Structures are given as C-alpha cells and as structure tokens.
Amino acid sequence: MAILPILEVPDPRLKTVSTPVETVDDDVRKLIDDMFDTMYAAPGIGLAAIQVGVPKRIVVMDLQEEEDEEGKPIRDPRVFINPEILDPAEEMSTYTEGCLSVPDQFADVDRPARCRVKWLDAQGEAHDEIFEGLFATCIQHEMDHLEGIVFIDHLSRLKRQMILKKLEKARKAAA
Ligand code: GNR
Ligand code: NI
C-alpha cells in the first residue's frame, strides 16, 4: 500500500507511449494496488500507470456511481491491462474533463459516445465489453495517457496555453 506522486504537465514523461504488460504477475498487482491507493487519495475516478511514472499499459478506474443507504459511494474498482478500443461510435458526446496530471483545470472534450474495450484483468483473464456515458469517456481519457496524450492536447492551442499558464501561476503562488 502506497500513495505515489502523480506527474503533472508539462512533465515530458507524460508524453511516453506505454508498453504492453507481458505477464500479469505479483509485481504488476503490487503496482495496481498502489495505483488504487493513489487514485482514491487524490481523489480521482481513473489513473494510468504513466501518471505515476511507470510506462506500462495499465489503467485503474472507479466511477463510484452507486451509493449505499447512507449515501456513501460504493467502491467499484476496475483494472484494465493492455486495453484496446474497438468499434468507437460515430456519435460523439461532450464531457467536461479534468485530469490528476492537470490539477484543478477543466475543459470540454468531444469523444465517441460508446466504444468496445478489450482488456486483461489482474488475474490475466481476457474481457470484452461495450461502454457508454462517463465510463466510455473515462476509459478513452485513460487510453490517451497510454499513448502519451493528455486531455488538453485535444483543445485549441490557445485554450491549452491558457491552462498551462494558469497551472504555472498556481504553482508559483503555492511555492
Ligand atoms: O478524476 C478524473 N476525472 C475525470 C473527469 C472527467 C473525465 C475524465 C476524468 S479522469 C480523471 C483522473 C485522471 O486524470 N485520469 O487519468
Ligand atoms: Ni488523466
């Protein structure tokens, strides 16, 4: 169990194309545990391994959409190893996205409204499912990280520069 430091833009490591996991072993499962600790502590709904500096094709997600009788979110941890996106819908949907690597900044991003995803779980078992809504948006956001892409890369140059400037300012104020 460990909370790992999260890389933030413009850290060049976030531009790395991550490599597939060859074998789902205990080292990979240890990393996944630490990624969940880091994601829940942040808090965030998803995290790609490269965000904690590990260039492997591993994503963890938990949308915590369900609540118990007391209104507390019920955890629904999901692991995606070597995920692949297939059959993205032509229909697009817009979501105001944020990213743990771009703290406190939000912007609208258009993405296919539905997609099929193939992946391996923490036991190395293969899965294949169709996702829509926030789930589809989030898995596509995480897949982008595996390709070295951050959501601000989908924005106009002007909007991206504005966000990078704001981050720089916020960091100076906090220093
Ligand atoms: O916590 C997160 N929230 C979020 C909101 C809208 C669209 C995507 C996300 S993912 C983000 C966590 C993160 O940075 N994952 O890479
Ligand atoms: Ni992100």
The bridge status of strand 92-99 relative to strand 78-86 is unpaired
Whether the per-residue pLDDT at 43 is higher than 90: the answer is yes
- Contact criterion met (CB below 8 Å) for 82 and 21: yes
pTM of the predicted model, to two decimals?
A: 0.97
Distance CA 18, CA 39 (A): 19
The pLDDT value recorded for residue 175 is 84
Look up residue 168 and give its two tokens: 């720089």
Look up residue 66 and give its two tokens: 């369900």
For residue 129, the one-letter residue type is E
Whether the per-residue pLDDT at 65 is higher than 90: the answer is no
Would you list the DSSP string of 4-66?
PPPP-TT-GGGGPPPBPPS---HHHHHHHHHHHHHHHHTT-SEEEGGGGT--BSEEEE-----
Q: Which of 38, 138, 139, 150 to mutate to test the pocket of ligand 1 (most atoms within 8 A of CB)?
A: 138
- Predicted confidence band of residue 172 (pLDDT cuts 50, 70, 90): very high
The pLDDT value recorded for residue 149 is 98
Nearest atom (ligand 1) to Cα of 109: 7
Digit-coded pLDDT (tens) for 16-33: 999 999 999 999 999 999
Whether the per-residue pLDDT at 102 is higher than 90: the answer is yes
CB atoms within 10 A of CB 50: 27
Catalytic residue among 70, 90, 129, 142: 142
Residue among 77, 85, 76 nearest 119 (CA): 85
Digit-coded pLDDT (tens) for 141-158: 999 999 999 999 999 999
The pLDDT value recorded for residue 1 is 81
Distance CA 59, CA 78 (A): 8
- Give the mean model confidence (pLDDT) for residues 5-10: 98
The pLDDT value recorded for residue 18 is 99
- Give the mean model confidence (pLDDT) for residues 47-75: 95
| Distances in whole angstroms, Cα of residue 111 to Cα of each of 63, 72, 150, 165 | 18, 30, 13, 25
Q: What residues contact 59, with CB distance under 8 A and at least 6 apart?
A: 46, 47, 48, 49, 79, 80, 81, 83, 139, 142, 143, 145, 146
Q: Which of 8, 9, 36, 45 to mutate to test the pocket of ligand 1 (most atoms within 8 A of CB)?
A: 45
Burial class (CB in 10 A: 0-12, 13-18, 19+), 99: buried
Digit-coded pLDDT (tens) for 73-99: 999 999 999 999 999 999 999 999 999
Q: How far is the CA of 165 from the centre of ligand 1 (A)?
A: 20
The question of whether 142 is a catalytic residue gets the answer: yes
| Pocket lining: 99 vs ligand 1, CB cutoff 6 Å | yes
Report every protein residue that has its C-beta within 5 angstroms of ion ligand 2.
99
